[in-house]
Amino acid sequence: MVEVKEILENLVQYNTIKDKENKQILDYLENTLQMLGFQTEKRGKILIMKNQKEAALGFLGHTDTVEYTNGWDYEKFSVTKQGNQLYGLGICDMKAGIAAILSAISQVDFSKCSKGMKLYFTYDEEIGFAGIQEVIAYEKNFPQVMLLGEPTNNEKIVGSKGLMEYKISFCGIKTHSSTPNKGKNAIMQAVRLINELTEFYETEIKQQENNHFEIPYTTMNLGVIQGGSAINSVPDYCEFLVDFRTIGKAEEEKIRQKIQNLQKKYQANVQEINCLSAFFSPTEEDPKTCNFITEASFLPSGIQNIILGAGPVTAHEVNEHITEESLEMLVKQYKEIIEKECQ
């Protein structure tokens, strides 16, 4: 059996903002798994653990952390205990989940189980999801139940909204503002498209609801807009970024079709940055869902996804932390899921 706090302390010591230390932490995880008697395979940004039996359960975790900001009161690359709180960069998102799964598998006698399990550790989740893309390319036969260690304050999350992100740009003709008839205003083109897209969203998309989500409807956010260079110049370029957090495939298809129609109507250039479908795989009488995106959104349809991690949820915050009780509870929760799925 491996002690969860000891593993967590070792994991937090790595500055996994950087690629070099993400590779080093995969080496540490590989050595730990081999010490526990498991087979491992390393490929690029991923480390896979498997045992001899057919896998009924998988665990997916990422080692990388976000850039830290100023204002920390504690050491970022070591675990600081203050009362029942444990502080450190990445401790919540999601090194606690990784430490807990390692401790949990060390307590399970897989020789008495009829099924096995796989672990997938990746990095580059925080920016671009590169690691999970390599997992998808590698794995041809995922276990039917996938456990993800993102922070949830020990609540089982079985559904997540989808994400559609677009960059939409316009090319105009630049001229002096005193002779706008000689030019073509790219910002005004963008405004017309935005107005029509917003009306479509308000009347056709927002009205549809899925009450399993805390915010039960698809949300739309116009996050960035850029264009123009001077008040007395007709702008020849404008671009904006918009995202939709979707509740289901029907809404996703309507949005995609509308943007295609608007692209033709307004002669816009459209780049689809991300398109991840919503998923919902209830296992509880009162299933919980989340509005944020996780690596579960990349997994093939038909898999039962369970997102379960430590808390409180302080991911990406100054003085990121979890509680000792949450960490210990998480080990027990993981162990129970392993024994149930692999029995």
Mean pLDDT of the 66-79 span = 93
Q: Enter the tokens of residue 277.
A: 């479908």
Q: What are phi and psi of 182, to 5 degrees?
A: -85, -10
Q: Residue 228 is part of a domain; what is its CATH number? A: 3.30.70.360
Q: Whose CA is closest to 33, among 14, 61, 67? A: 61
Q: Enter the tokens of residue 213.
A: 């989500």
Please tell me whether the peptide bond between 287 and the residue prior to it is cis, using omega within 30 degrees of 0: no
Q: Residue 126 is part of a domain; what is its CATH number? A: 3.40.630.10
Number of domains in the chain: 2
Q: Whose CA is closest to 259, among 250, 270, 274, 247? A: 270
204 and 309 share one domain: no
**Residue labelled with tokens 């027990």:** 332
24 and 144 share one domain: yes
Contact present, 131 and 45 (Cβ < 8 Å): yes
63 and 81 share one domain: yes
**C-alpha distance from residue 187 to each of 193, 241, 332 (Å):** 10, 14, 56
**C-alpha distance from residue 294 to each of 207, 305, 316 (Å):** 25, 11, 14
Length of the chain: 343
- Among 276, 308, 327, identify where a domain stops: 276
- Among 257, 276, 295, identify where a domain stops: 276
- Among 276, 308, 324, identify where a domain stops: 276
Report the distance separating Cα 65 and Cα 69, nearest Å: 12
Indicate whether 307 pLDDT > 70: yes
132 and 151 share one domain: yes
pLDDT digits (tens, 9 = 90+) for 109-138: 999 999 999 999 999 876 678 888 899 999
Share of the chain above pLDDT 90, in %: 81
Mean pLDDT of the 225-243 span = 98
Q: Whose CA is closest to 311, among 292, 330, 296, 293? A: 330
Could you tell me the pLDDT band of residue 240, with boundaries at 50, 70 and 90? very high
93 and 141 share one domain: yes
Amino acid 129: pLDDT:
81
52 and 129 share one domain: yes
Residues facing 280 on adjacent strands: 159
Enter the pTM of the model: 0.84
**197 lies in which domain range?**
162-276
8 and 136 share one domain: yes
197 and 302 share one domain: no
129 and 56 share one domain: yes
84 and 199 share one domain: no
Could you tell me the pLDDT band of residue 233, with boundaries at 50, 70 and 90? very high
Mean pLDDT of the 147-151 span = 96
83 and 103 share one domain: yes
Indicate whether 284 pLDDT > 70: no
Q: Enter the tokens of residue 216.
A: 């039960």
- Residue 90 CB contacts under 8 Å (≥ 6 apart), including other chains: 11, 12, 16, 64, 65, 320
Amino acid 251: pLDDT:
96
Contact present, 68 and 89 (Cβ < 8 Å): yes
